[in-house]
């Protein structure tokens, strides 16, 4: 297996933190891992072009050095929906460009963790959405559930859509993004009963999460769980 795709129930659900934790978990077992964020908006200008903070963290976490333009082929400065940012920049987000970058990264390591942008159905162009990427790259999907009020509806709808698009839902991670969430245990029990996919870990609320620490909260055999889909 060359990669997994990390999506989420919404923006700010913790996809990057979980992606970094997944990377750290495999690196601790001697696996050479790279991260990828094919599309990002809300970037900072730099002499080299727009740079996204999350993509830079994925680059830094990588087991080997990889060019930023492969890790984040499409980077836009405005913090708006990527298809709108792309249109304003006069750029078309193309699936072949993303696939070429993924193949280059995959050839250089053992595993690529590919992080989506926003939620599962975020548009990338008039004809392309985030939900098209895993199937095109032949990747199983890990769903990050941002544990907050409303997460049950968001998680169940996202899981239904993942399967409807023909992508395998390999597992899910619960990420507590609301420290005041009530009935947390009951919410997790409902997700476990209804998502019909293994829970790869539950991350408690943390103000300053660290990848190595979060990696220790993931199921130690999570890669073995998702490889059955490849």
Residue 202 Cα to chain centre, angstroms? 16
Residue 1, pLDDT > 70, answer no
What would the pLDDT profile of 127-148 be if each residue is shown by its tens digit? 999 999 999 999 999 999 999 9
Q: How many CA atoms lie within 13 A of 229 on its CB side?
A: 24
Is residue 183 very low, low, confident or very high in pLDDT (cuts 50, 70, 90)? very high
What would the pLDDT profile of 151-162 be if each residue is shown by its tens digit? 999 999 999 999
Any catalytic annotation for residue 37? yes
Residue 100, pLDDT > 90, answer yes
DSSP code of 134?
H
To the nearest whole percent, how much of the chain has pLDDT over 70? 97
In sequence order, what are the beta bridge partners of 142?
6, 171
**For residue 218, which of 32, 57, 61, 21 has the smallest C-alpha distance?**
21
Residue 227, pLDDT score: 64
User: What's the Cα-to-Cα distance from 21 to each of 6, 25, 113, rounded to whole Å?
Assistant: 12, 6, 10
**For residue 223, which of 152, 139, 165 has the smallest C-alpha distance?**
139
Reading the block at residue 128, the tokens are 């392309």
Average predicted confidence (pLDDT) for the chain: 95
Task: State the DSSP string of 154-212.
Answer: HHHHHHHHHHHTT--EEEEEEEE--TT-SSHHHHHHHHHHHS-S-EEEEEPP-SS--HH
Q: How many CA atoms lie within 13 A of 81 on its CB side?
A: 15
Residue 55's SS3 state is: helix
Query: Phi then psi for 156, rounded to 5 degrees?
Result: -70, -40
DSSP code of 129?
B
Q: Are strands 39-41 and 141-147 parallel, antiparallel or unpaired?
A: unpaired
The whole-number average pLDDT for the span 65-93 is 98
The one catalytic residue among 15, 37, 135, 165:
37
Residue 222, pLDDT score: 74
Residue 185, pLDDT > 60, answer yes
Reading the block at residue 89, the tokens are 């920049």
Is residue 206 very low, low, confident or very high in pLDDT (cuts 50, 70, 90)? confident
* Domain boundary assignment for the chain: 3-227
Residue 230, pLDDT score: 56
Residue 207, pLDDT > 90, answer no
Question: Domain 3-227 is classified in which CATH homologous superfamily?
Answer: P-loop containing nucleotide triphosphate hydrolases (3.40.50.300)
């Amino acid at each position: 297996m060359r990669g997994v795709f990390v999506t989420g129930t919404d923006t700010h659900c913790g996809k990057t933190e979980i992606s970094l934790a997944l990377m750290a978990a495999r690196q601790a077992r001697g696996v050479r891992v790279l991260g990828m964020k094919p599309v990002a908006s809300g970037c900072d200008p730099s002499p080299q072009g727009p740079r996204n903070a999350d993509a830079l963290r994925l680059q830094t976490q990588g087991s080997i050095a990889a060019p930023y333009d492969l890790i984040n082929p499409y980077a836009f400065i405005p913090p708006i929906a990527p298809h709108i940012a792309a249109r304003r920049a006069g750029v078309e987000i193309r699936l072949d460009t993303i696939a070429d970058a993924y193949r280059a990264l995959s050839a250089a390591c053992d595993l690529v963790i590919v992080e989506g942008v926003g939620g599962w159905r975020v548009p990338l162009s008039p004809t392309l959405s985030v939900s098209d990427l895993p199937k095109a790259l032949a990747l199983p999907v890990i769903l990050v559930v941002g544990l907050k009020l409303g997460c049950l509806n968001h998680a169940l709808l996202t899981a239904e859509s993942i399967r409807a698009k023909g992508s395998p839902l390999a597992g899910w991670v619960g990420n507590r993004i609301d420290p005041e969430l009530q009935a947390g245990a009951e919410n997790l029990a409902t997700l476990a009963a209804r998502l019909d996919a293994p829970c790869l870990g539950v991350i408690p609320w943390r103000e300053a999460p660290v990848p190595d620490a979060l990696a220790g909260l993931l199921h130690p055999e999570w890669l073995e769980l998702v490889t059955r889909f490849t």
